[in-house]
Chains A and B, each alone.
Chain A
Amino acid sequence: MEKFELIETDVLIIGAGGTGLRAAIEAARYNLDVVVVSKELLGKAHTTMAEGGINAALGNVDPEDNWKWHFLDTVEGGAWLNDQDLVETLVKEAPDRIFDLEEFGAVFDRLPDGKIAQRPFGKARYRRTCYMSDYTGHEVLATLVDETRKLGVNVFEEIFVSKLLTSNGRVIGAIAIDMKNGDFLVFKTKAIVLSTGGAGRMYKVTTNPASATGDGKILALDAGAEVMDMEMFQFHPTTMVWPPSCRGILVTEAVRGEGGILLNAKGERFMKRYNPKLMELAGRDAVARANWTEIMEGRGTEHGGVYLSVTHLDPELVKTRLKTMYKQFLLAGVDITKEPMEVSPGAHYYMGGVRILNVTTETCVKGLFAGGEETAGVHGANRLGGNSLIDTQVFGKRAGEYAAKFAKSETFHPIDFKQVEEEQKRILSIAKEKDDKIRPVKIREQLSEVMWENAGIFRDEEKLNKALTFIERVKKEQLPKLGICDTTTLRYNKELIEALETINLVRTSELLVRSALIRTESRGAHYRTDYPQTDNKNWLKHIVWRLENGVLKYRFEPVKITIQNPP
């Protein structure tokens, strides 16, 4: 066995985004040892890139708003695939989580009466989205970082967790690599919170950062947990198309919330053909499909996008409320107060993920909890803008709370060092000198292209089968040859981590494609051109996956409908 460092902690939180840090803050209240491990440096997680805002039915601008409307908007937006017990908790607890953030020091933009300002967002009946200019995610994450520092929570940075350790159906620890020096770490723990976020890097065009590689979903699956709704991947309607370097960088929904309009190359405000009632503020799924259709049918712009224009708005408003956008485009040579932006859809958010059994965020593996983009069920088949940040807070808090309570009542279990040894072997076999090695970047380039072309906004059986064939071939022929350039040292060996991430991406892609093939209907973000109808009679159910002796098996699980029946 290779050397490793053993670290004991009551609660281990994997991932340091909005969910992970909120969980840590909560768990720290229980007088326990809490360790957060982060793949990036503290404060660099994807949460910081959330722009437009965070939803809570405070009713500050529209007094008619309350949790019931927020609930209805969320399940309607989610095309009724949401588990309603989760949604109910989300919307009812949202205001308190906003107040928590303020308590920790967050600053939101205000109304003249001194209350938190709220802006309109896609598919929301009322103005419900709280914001700090257009860098709300940064504000939320920076605040949580402050609070973690205040509480003295241990955060281990640049740690890649590669496997959860289990014993008799419960998690008892985790194996990780400390990227800084290449050392192995073994965590011995009573409870684990998974909060590693999404997997946008499956796709060529994505708003997601380098680290969004589906790690947690695969960790959970391997530990015996279930994942579901894996076909549900949201494409954000508006991401940058030019220059090539900026392809996929998010253009916030707040642009449309503040009054931005979409135009095709002919100058036509085409949303009136797709959704005359909600226009640009229709659901993200609908707007993404509209944009993509315009582009595919030849009404796109020079660089293959559609126009998003705010030139009719007050330039001062644009520069303050859409500050990030203004600067982001200026750097690319476009003054958005004078010229329209060119945008097109990009992979943005994974609605699918780890199945949590109920609002305690527990999974079917004892001691394993999960929250945020890691999980499925909250957002159904399509997430509303502004609901992700609040998800991290509501379910981050809950994950922390219930993981802590679980840890309080449990003892440590002895680690099975054979599991450690096996995992070390798996990792070191990648870092071995190989003549016919295939570098992770090569696999990723092809995978992301194939996924974008065949499992993207519009899907059909043929394309999905093509993707599946490709994935199966990669698994069989390429992954065994996965290798890296520098086999002499593991010290900050970025490529070794990339290799492990690539395996996660391939496996996540497989789950996505297989699920998309099974779901022979269109719902929310999942659009099958060969099955364009939504079929509430047969398909109000989740496709749930688990591993049985190393083989993927699926079953169906009915959607939990507790409050409102679909029309």
Chain B
Amino acid sequence: MKMNKETKLKVKVFRFNPLKDAEPHYEEYEVPYIEGMRVLDVLNYIHDNYDGSLAYRWECRAGQCGSCSIMINGKAGLACQTSVDPETKELIIEPLPIFPVIRDLVVDVEKGYKKLLKIRPYLHRESVSQHPEIIYQYEIEDIKPMRECIECWSCVAMCPVVQNAWDIYGGPIVMTHLAKLSFDKRNAFDHLLTAFLEGLYACTQCANCKEICPKEIDIPEKAVGKMRYLAYNKRNLVRNEHRKIVENVRRFYNPLAEDNNTRADWAKDLDIPVAKRGAKLLYFVGCMASWREQRVARATATLLKLAGENFTVLGPYERDCGSVFVRLGDMELVKEFALYMKNIVKNYDFDAIVTSCAGCFRTFKIDYLEKLGIDLGVPIYHSSELFAQHIDEGKLTLTTKLNISATYHDPCHLGRHVGVFEEPRKIIRTIGLKFKEMLNERYKENSRCCGAGGGVRSGYRDIARDIAAYRVENDVPKGAKVIVQTCPFCYFNFEDAVRTNNYSVTNIDLTELLLVSVMGEDAIKVLGSDRYKEIMSLSRGE
């Protein structure tokens, strides 16, 4: 790549002096691009050449001090560590949200400090130790990444729980500090208890913080996940709501306390194979689609049939994926469920598994493998991946174009965690939806969590719902009538927010839309005439 002096960047910068301005405004600048340019260079150029009054922080320009964290096209990050893409149409630079603005891009992080100081973020020794102290390398391996935090506050700016319930949840940075102290054998203070009280179980584990952390600290897994493991297994620090869920899964093999024998009741009138020997594909329905969002299961199974898949559901033999135990840290129980799944796959000799729920998908694909070392040994698909393939191969033919203004919610477990972004969008485009991405650049890797994950829906129902409501209010583009969903769990939570707040937007699962697009009016017998009419009237723009 050669230096291209011709390229000019269009940069929009947030400007606000609360002493003088009634309202913030954006100022536009043109900045010549140079190879390897970082966002900090852009700011320095503006400051040096256009306006010396632009307020922003920077110090080390090497990503080691954390001074220059700002919002860059909707994503928090260090200005000095963010490369500028010369192809980018417009660079939008804003201060970190959550904190009050002092001036322009400079925010007052005082509130964050207060949260941090509250947890006593320092080592408490019982007595003065003998030196040299003997500490083995393996004893510091868990602490080391946590100690890398440079307090740039980017994680806090991106955290959906902080946005809605900072009083309940201290935030990613607080969890990082608590983890560093909880894992330190020298520490005499009970920081694990503090973590429990600071909302250890209120993290949705959406991993937005990990995504943008300049030090790549795996806060959801290595801080929150590990602390939950310790809290749950070693200290019995669990919320009552979660205790109940665990009890449900133990007794009923599902967290909803439903009779597991009714798992395939949704399929009764549809002629769907249940526990069929000789089937090659397992459709793992999951708890939400089995009982709460049955249209998803009905649509998915019907589409699989139409595509000619030799598949089966397990019906009463389907047990929980164990996701809830993974999120709570009950690894013993997850193992039971994982081994059961492995056994099923072996016994039935399945070639592949397809799921409706992004949670089951991630659990099979990542958690069994990484946390338990259990490999189910077959490819695992999310339904959107499989159906996109079916459309490509001509196994599903679309008859009805749906002309609906819609946006799409990337479930964390499907998108950011596993990287499935394109397949759902491909289907959305194919069925003809007038598609717009979520606003504020909150899509794909930068999608904002619905709020239900990580046990938050079961532990803090109101917070989960508020987060979904926040997403609807802030990110859904004007004119979008439908939020396309690909995870029944997100769906369920969004639906709660929409109903509670009387939003005019409608949640529809991608499989429902695809089904109507494939079957036309015949979809009535699968989705019911009300739902069919609803979709068609949306398509007519009513």
Contact = CB atoms under 8 A, between A and B. Distances in A.
Contacts of A244: 34-36
A107 B40 CA distance: 31
Interface string B135-164: 111001001100111110000000000000
Interface stretch (B102-110, B313-321, B444-452): B102-110
B455 interface: no
Contact of A245 (B17, B34, B48, B65): B34
A492 B104 contact: yes
B109 A492 contact: no
Contact of B60 (A46, A103, A147): A46
A327 B117 CA distance: 31
Given A149-B122, A180-B102, A243 B37 contact: yes
A494 B134 CA distance: 47
Contacts of A139: 147
Contacts of A113: 134
A112 B63 CA distance: 31
Contacts of A112: 137
A492 to B, nearest CB: 4
Interface string A230-252: 00000000000011111001100
Interface string A466-501: 000000000000000000111011011111001000
A211 interface: yes
Contacts of B305: none
Contacts of B125: 103
Given A116-B132, A331-B81, A331-B83, A489 B19 contact: yes
A375 to B, nearest CB: 22
B124 to A, nearest CB: 8
A566 B134 CA distance: 39
A211 B59 contact: yes
B22 interface: no
Nearest to B153: A41
Interface in B34-73: 34-38, 40-41, 47-48, 51-67
B20 A489 contact: yes
Contact of B64 (A49, A58, A105, A491): A49
B140 to A, nearest CB: 5
Contacts of B61: 209-210, 249
A421 interface: no
A102 interface: yes
A495 B53 contact: yes
B65 A493 contact: no
Interface bracket on B: 35 or more
A209 B147 CA distance: 22
Nearest to B35: A243
Interface in B80-115: 81, 83, 102-104, 106, 108-109
Count chain B CB atoms within 10 A of each CB in A441, A492, A498 and give the residue with the most. Answer: A492
Given A103-B128, A107-B144, A146 B122 contact: yes
A107 B52 contact: no
Contacts of B540: none
B273 interface: no
A446 interface: no
A448 interface: no
Nearest to A145: B151
Contacts of B108: 180
B37 A135 contact: no
B186 interface: yes
B123 interface: yes
A137 B64 CA distance: 10
Nearest to B187: A105
A420 interface: no
B52 A439 contact: yes
Given A105-B186, A331-B81, A494-B55, A43 B151 contact: yes
A40 interface: yes
A517 B199 CA distance: 63
B55 A245 contact: no
Contacts of B53: 484-486, 493-495
B32 interface: no
B48 A40 contact: no
Contacts of B19: 489, 491
A489 B19 CA distance: 8
Main secondary structure of the interface of A (DSSP, over half): loop
Contacts of B147: 107, 132, 139, 142
A62 to B, nearest CB: 15
Contacts of B140: 107, 109-110
Contacts of B126: none
Given A138-B150, A441-B48, A49 B60 contact: yes
Contacts of B2: none
Nearest to A210: B59
A400 B120 CA distance: 24
Nearest to B34: A244
B31 to A, nearest CB: 13
Q: Which of B56, B104, B117, B133 has the most chain A CB atoms closer than 10 A to its own CB?
A: B133
Contacts of A489: 17, 19-20
B184 interface: yes
A485 B47 CA distance: 10
Nearest to A484: B52
Contacts of A146: 121-123
Nearest to B20: A489
B63 A114 contact: no
B37 A245 contact: yes
Nearest to B82: A331
A149 B122 CA distance: 8
A402 B83 CA distance: 47
A115 B132 contact: yes
B41 A105 contact: no
Nearest to A96: B131
A244 B81 CA distance: 14
Contacts of A463: none
Given A99-B132, A491-B102, A41 B20 contact: no
B504 interface: no
Contacts of A103: 125, 128-129
Given A116-B132, A484-B52, A48 B36 contact: no
Interface string B188-226: 000000000000000000000000000000000000000
Nearest to A60: B132
A44 interface: yes
A332 interface: yes
Contact of B137 (A110, A485, A492): A110
A243 B2 CA distance: 12
A40 B65 contact: yes
Interface in A481-536: 484-486, 488-489, 491-495, 498
A389 B278 CA distance: 69
A104 interface: yes
A439 B50 CA distance: 12
Interface string A78-118: 00000000000000000000010011110101101111100
A149 B51 CA distance: 37
Contacts of B148: 135, 138
Nearest to A439: B52
A210 B47 CA distance: 14
Contact of B63 (A110, A180, A328): A328
Contacts of B40: 245
A498 B134 CA distance: 47
Given A43-B66, A102-B131, 15 more contacts: A41-B151, A48-B150, A102-B133, A103-B125, A104-B122, A110-B137, A115-B134, A132-B144, A135-B148, A243-B37, A244-B35, A245-B34, A493-B55, A494-B54, A494-B55
**Lowest 9 A-B CB distances belong to which pairs?**
A243-B36, A105-B123, A486-B53, A485-B52, A114-B134, A492-B103, A146-B122, A495-B52, A99-B131
6 contacts: A102-B131, A107-B144, A133-B144, A486-B52, A491-B17, A492-B103
Interface of B: 17, 19-20, 34-38, 40-41, 47-48, 51-67, 81, 83, 102-104, 106, 108-109, 117, 120-123, 125, 128-129, 131-137, 140, 143-144, 147-151, 184, 186
